[in-house]
Structure 1
Amino acid sequence: MKKYKFILIAFFFAIVLNLIIQHVDNKYTYNDIEAIYGIVDYTDSSQMHFLIHDWEVYQDQLLTSEDIKNKQGQLTQYVDVGEFGGFEFYSQNQKAHGQATYRIRIYDQPQKVVAMQLPEIFSAYKLYINGQLYTQSGIVEKENYTPEILNTMVTFTTQECNEIIIQVSDYDHYYSGMIYPIAYGSQRQISIYQTIQTLIKGLQSFLPLVMAIVCIVSYWKTGYAKRDGYFACICLSYLGYILYAIVHLLINSQSFLWYRLEDISYYLLIYFVALLLLQQCHYKISRIYSFVGLFVLIATLFLPSLWISYNQDMIYGLSYMGQLYKGLFSFLMIFIIFRNVEENMDSSLKYLIMIIILFVVSINMDSIFWYEPIYLGWGSEIAGFVLSVYFSIIMVSEKIQFYQQNKILSENKKQMKDYIFDVAHDLKAPAASLYGYVELLNSGIAKKQNKEEYLLSQIAQKVQILSKRIALLQTLDIEKSLILNKNLFSLTKMIESLEQRYQILLQDKQLEIKIIGQDIELYADQEKISICLENILLNAIEHAYSNSAIVFELLEDALSYQIQITNHGKIISKEDMNHIFERGYTSHQNEHSGLGLAICQKIIQAHVGEITVQSLHDITTFIIVFIKK
């Protein structure tokens, strides 16, 4: 139960956050004066209002102020804006498409300049204020019906009683009539309101746009890494989901294309978030299956929407199918989260899971409550933006780390030439010893003194030292060391190969090698990584207690691969710990070149990785970290 604690906390936090947002930033919970039977009194109020409650509705009638005064129309009912998605209102038999007239009367101080912000009204309308036609969007008459999306602001000078009449027609959109509340206030209040909305939408669009470009470039540069590809797809889907608001704020359109793109982008956003979660939890999904899922979504949700005009059943069918997809993907993500949670989970994956929980909760709570945001946007929009912020932090931190590693490499490049001279100097000692031992054998002195076996063992030891130092010299060729010949290989197989190579040394000290963790397929220079692990293994063999184990532990998280090599034996002193990776430094002056661990560090840094060591209580552990790209 303990490992699920942070998940439960994340769900609780996500629900509470959505409830707070839907209460604080909601036009329907805004502290406002409510209309009663089509009349509202703002005479003593100076704040901005939302015209929501008790509009008079004349169903299937397009009426003017004169028509109503002459009692040519028949009042159908009073409705709250947004209470229904179409013209069906309270009637089960009424179709959602058709036409209607909305009317409200506002009492206010006379000779006062006020403004109204009209969000999208679906899908053609005429606005009358005090009997005068103020603005028109499309053509409302059925015989010449022409839809046009218009998000606009109008200003007028008030009378004591101000009559607002809106004639609306819709025959092809999945919303009909007035869905979004109209804002009413001074011209300054409405202008500030619109400006804040535009700035927030601009910010919500700008960061994902930048991140989409960065992730696409990173995806291409890193050999098509899936994570970066999903990052880019999520950002692009999010852009398609929220850009419609800016498009209709700035551009009048007779096309519903942006609404279609908004819908499919919303479901693609959910789809790619689910794929990212699967990928980060180490589920292998081929590109073919990913594209098949993408095709199914587009084929079932987007393409039919281009031909559903005037078909109400098709509109409802697509709506139900979208809800089904959302439910399935929400269940899948929650299932994956609970199945793969671990107590020692990597922090970056934990943060991603918390954000995805916020996303899942938000997309489902958006449709539970009566909610229309004032400034911030829907919960799903906020959660999508938080995802893009998370991507930004991950990408920026990786680039900073990459820059720092490159800076270190460029500084170390200047020193690498010196290593060649150091190794060449170190070769002289074992070479001279070999020459002396061979001379003794040839002279016959060793045979007379019965020291032939001793000399042969010394020769074998010096040959081993000489071979090792020659291998080090080969790895220090400047031109070759800067070129990494990368390929995909198994770390487990590499460690098993090293174990077989040094089986005699291991048996001499009765040591065994243990491999813990799942195999890692590493994309790196196999030869250089083998040299690095070989150096560390030889050090471990030399310093390990007899009858003990040398443990290779393989770990993987969302951002890195990790190799930990642990042996039980004499620890490294504090003085040596401070210099262990410095070239030429050794605590064994006669046997070691002082280059092995320095070369290991250069190899790991060339792979944009890091090597560190911990030595305490007879346990020494070398930790190698490779950053995922």
Structure 2
Amino acid sequence: MNSKKQAKNKNNTVKTQLLCILLFLLALAGFHLLTVIDNKYSKDYYEIRDGVLLADAQALNHDKLLYLTEGWEIYPDRLLSPQDFLSSSVSESGLTTRIGEYMNFAGFHQGHSPYGTATYRLRFASSRQLDGLVLYLPEIFSACRVYINGTEAVSQGSLHPYSPMVRDLILSVPDGTAADIIIQTANYSHYYSGIIYPPVLGSAQAIHLQTSVRMVFYSLLCFFSLSIALLSAAVWLGSRKQPGRRVYFWLGILALTFSLHSFYPFFHTISLPFPRILYALEDGSSMLIILCALKIVFALSDSVKKEIAAPIELIALSMLLISVFLPLFLLSLFPYFIPYYGQIISWYKLAISLLLLLLSLKGTSGKHTGWLAAGTAMYSAGLLSSVLTLNRWEPAYTGWPDEYGTFFLILFFSGFMLKLHFMMAAQNLQLTEHLQDMVEERTKEVTLLLSERQKILSEFLHDLKSPIACISAYLQLVKENDIHVDEKTQEKIDMIEKNYEELSVQIRSIQDFNAGISPVSRREKFDLRQLAETYYLRNRQDVEVFGPLFLLSLPPFPCPMQGNPESIARAIENMVFNSMDFTPPEGKIVLSLSMENGNYLLSVSDTGCGIDEDTLPHIFERSFSTRKEEGGNGLGLFLVKTIAQEHQGNVSAESVPGEGCRITLTLPASE
């Protein structure tokens, strides 16, 4: 049996590993496909001649976009105005570059400082008139001034004195067949410098369509992740005693972080004067996502030991702190460290992607970990693609590879946790049903035990009554024959008679209590009206022998209910006997039945002496009796109360001293 189970587990593990490899390769293929269909660097349909970009006027006039990646001239450490370019010496001193080739200005300085200034220039021309074009400039680092055809179009932040600002720019291009774009940039605060993301040229409608699609894409990522975060928070708060509660916490943090991270394109539509904080949040959110992913994988994987997981989590936490505090406080003080900082981040992401891929393959031995392994493999592929395609892929309409990977990670993790939640709910339901079966079984056992005890006690009382009856007969014989005995013997006989009476009372009390034990499970449907009528007809003469008039009041319709008819009859008997003890011969006792608010009211009223206010609250208490000197045991009305509770009902009493008393048994009616 164990060998078959091991073989089955091994087979499932192999299947899951093959699924992870397949998803990893499919994700890489999908990201490669995106580099073709949604990459600004792969959408060039122009040529460059003598430093001038020759645009396809027909394509631009048909609402196609021109991604300006090639043909730029860069002039490091110089802020050149349009008048400066009138000199041929200035125009010939520039370097031809591709946007994204230089991530900062470190390559132009001997000390490798990434900070400084630079001027970018692009000239384009067309054989046809270009009307209504718009230039879209994504996020220039970190202050700039833009000239179009010699005229200043916009200024973002301040070049001197330096004041950074984050914002995407959309500018109108004058109509004509040519344009000259000059962009002055300065950066002393960020590890990126100048123009990093390719500008876009096209009609206003095409630019609007592109930005709208991009905003919709990031809105879906943002609000989907936010909904998962709220769901995880609800489950985390509602499952305080569950062992896997911390996984929901980290899933909620992961989803919330990615939701905030996905909101950054919306920040770039407005002017934000605190770019360092924004960039620190962007970098920190990426590192926090990695930390959360590791936390969840380590928590759900059975194959990773705590001694291995703890150092990795410590490294992830250290990278989180580095990515937040370095951009905020240290990079501006140590700018020469910026090139190494970028390399550290890239190598760290590469190492994490390979580690997660290894964990997705190795950590698949646990139960139902296919979702976990699949999500980890997809996220690993996203991290790997983001590192390998650095400076060679910028999405035009959608998102970056690591953003796709994070989305699928949250999607698969959420599916995995949702599946676990449903499994736990099914197990709880099964346990509840099993518990209910156990309760019913134990109830039957207890009922059987009580029934057996009742039988044994009845037999014992029956056997005990025989010698008691003999004693009573001999005492009666002594009295009837008027046997003369001496004084001492008479005292003994009187003592025997007194003890006999006490013993008879105790035996009768035990009989009454034993008769009042009704097994809860012995229930059947019967007509309460018919039961009351039958009792009245059988006992009318016996009651009226004592003097009181016995009357009956019943409704004209059947009164069906679920319960034990023998117990109800016993309750009626005890209520009638109680009234007989306190009703004079010229009085009357009434047994009545009515219905009110879905309940039956079974009452016994009399015209006896009544009960005073101090005594009335105690008449249903066990062993309480006002006739203990006359042999009362106080069990009659107590048994009525017990029977009422067994039938989910209650009993009450109302009385006017000197006028009589009414005892009402309230019982639920059957639907």
2:67 touches 2:198 (CA, 8 Å); kept in 1? yes
Q: Which runs of 5+ in 1 are unaligned?
A: 443-472, 475-629
Counterpart of 2:38?
Answer: 25
1:273 CA displacement? 0.8
Partner of 2:408: 386
- In the alignment, is residue 40 of structure 1 matched against residue 54 of structure 2? yes
How much does 1:55 deviate? 0.5
| Matching residue of 1:103 | 121
Question: What code does the residue aligned with 2:162 have?
Answer: Y
CA distance in 1, matches of 2:277, 2:345: 17
3-state SS of 2:57 partner: coil
Matched, 1:12 2:25: yes
| Structure 1 residues 371 and 434, CA gap change in structure 2 (3 angstroms) | farther
TM-superposed deviation, 1:367: 2.0
Conservation of the 8 A alpha-carbon contact between 1:25 and 1:376: yes
Match of 1:157 among 170, 174, 181: 174
Query: 1:348-427 alignment to 2 at 5 Å?
Result: 349-369=369-389, 370-394=392-416, 426-427=448-449
Which residue in the other structure is 1:136 paired with? 155
Cα distance in 2 for residues equivalent to 1:135 and 1:248 = 16
Deviates more, 1:168-177 or 1:240-249: 240-249
The alpha-carbon distance between structure 1 residues 91 and 24, as it changes in their structure 2 partners (threshold 3 A), is farther
Deviation track 1:70-118 (CA, whole Å, cap 9, x = no partner) reads 3362432111111220134578776432212111122244361111111
**C-alpha distance 110-335 of structure 1, shift in aligned 2 (>3 A):** closer
The question of whether the paired residues in 1 share the 8 Å contact of 2:211 and 2:397 is answered with no
Match of 1:145 in 2: 162
Is this contact kept in 1: 2:119–2:183, CA < 8 A?
A: yes
* Structure 2 residue corresponding to 1:124, chosen from 135, 143, 147: 143
Contact kept, 8 Å, 1:376 with 1:382, in 2: the verdict is no
1:373 and 1:5 map into 2 onto residues whose CA distance is 30
Distance in 2 (alpha carbons) for counterparts of 1:151 and 1:51: 16
- Residue 133 of structure 2 is aligned to residue 114 of structure 1: yes
Contact 1:18–1:379 (8 Å) recurs in 2: yes
| Partner of residue 254, structure 2 | 234
Q: CA deviation at 1:40?
A: 2.5
**Is this contact kept in 2: 1:53–1:80, CA < 8 A?**
yes
Aligned pair partner of 2:287 in 264, 267, 273 = 267
Residue identity matched to 1:319: G
How many Å separate the matches in 2 of 1:244 and 1:309?
Answer: 23
Task: Report the TM-score when normalising by structure 1.
Answer: 0.62
Q: How far does the alpha carbon of each residue in 1:535-572 deviate from its partner, in whole angstroms, 9 at most, with x for none?
A: xxxxxxxxxxxxxxxxxxxxxxxxxxxxxxxxxxxxxx
Residues 103 and 164, structure 1, Cα contact 8 Å, conserved in 2? yes
Q: Is the 8 A contact 1:271 1:329 kept in 2?
A: no
Q: Which region of structure 1 is more displaced relative to structure 2, 371-380 or 61-70?
A: 61-70
SS at match of 1:329: helix
- Residue by residue over 1:485-508, the C-alpha shift from the partner in whole angstroms, topping out at 9 and shown as x without a partner, is xxxxxxxxxxxxxxxxxxxxxxxx
Structure 1 contact 57–75 (Cα < 8 Å) conserved:
no
Query: Does the C-alpha gap of structure 1 residues 44 and 288 become closer, same or farther in structure 2, counting only changes over 3 Å?
Result: closer
- Partner letter of residue 374 of structure 1? A
Q: 1:205 aligns with which of 213, 222, 234?
A: 222
How many angstroms does 1:418 deviate by? Answer: 8.2
Provide the alpha-carbon RMSD of the alignment: 4.0
Matching residue's letter, 1:10: L
Separation in 2 of the partners of 1:91 and 1:361? 35
Is 1:169 aligned with 2:189? no
1:250 maps onto 2:264 in alignment = no
Helix, strand or coil at the partner of 1:57: strand
Specify the code of the residue in structure 2 equivalent to 1:121: I
Opposite residue 154 of structure 2, the aligned amino acid is T
Distance (Å, rounded) in 2 between the aligned partners of 1:243 and 1:288: 31
Q: Distance in 1 between matches of 2:96 and 2:38?
A: 25
The answer (yes or no) to whether the contact 1:274–1:332 under 8 Å persists in 2 is no
Native 8 Å contact 1:260 1:305 kept in 2: yes
Kindly indicate whether the alpha-carbon contact (under 8 Å) linking 1:38 and 1:56 is maintained by their aligned counterparts in 2.
no
Distance 1:407 1:34 in 2: 69
Change (3 A) 1:227 1:251: same
**C-alpha contact 1:227 1:279 (8 A) present in aligned 2:** yes
Q: Measure the CA separation in 2 of the matches of 1:302 and 1:365.
A: 23
The answer (yes or no) to whether the contact 2:186–2:193 under 8 Å persists in 1 is: yes
Contact 1:279–1:285 (CA under 8 A) maintained in structure 2: no
Query: Where in structure 2 are the equivalents of 1:74-85 lying within 5 Å?
Result: 74-85=92-103
Contact between 1:267 and 1:322, CA under 8 Å: does it hold in 2?
Answer: no
| CA distance in 2: counterparts of 1:261 and 1:200, whole angstroms | 20
Does the residue aligned with 1:303 lie in a helix, a strand or coil?
Answer: helix
Counterpart residue identity of residue 342, structure 2: S
In structure 2, distance between residues paired with 1:315 and 1:434: 93
TM-superposed deviation, 1:381? 0.2
* Offset of residue 54 of structure 1: 1.6
Within 2, Cα distance between the matches of 1:234 and 1:311?
31
Structure 2 alignment gaps of length 5 or more: 1-9, 465-519, 522-671
Q: Which amino acid aligns with 2:361?
A: F
Q: 298, 308, 315: which one pairs with 2:338?
A: 315
What aligned pairs does 1:418-497 form with structure 2 within 5 A after superposition?
A: 426-427=448-449
Task: Show the counterpart of 2:568.
Answer: none
Alignment CA distance shift 1:220-1:251 (3 Å)? farther
Corresponding residue number in structure 1 for 2:232: 215
The amino acid across from 1:99 in the alignment is T
Percent sequence identity over matched residues? 22
More displaced 10-residue stretch of structure 1: 173-182 or 329-338: 329-338
- 1:52 is aligned, of 60, 69, 81, to 69
Amino acid at match of 1:304: L
Q: Report the CA distance shift for 1:54/1:310 in structure 2 as closer, same or farther (over 3 A).
A: farther
Quick check: 1:86 aligned with 2:104?
yes
Offset at 1:250?
A: 3.4
Deviation at 1:233, TM superposition (A): 2.1
Aligned equivalents of 2:443, 2:76: Cα separation in 1: 94
Q: Counterpart of 2:349?
A: 326
CA distance in 1 between counterparts of 2:24 and 2:110 reads 37
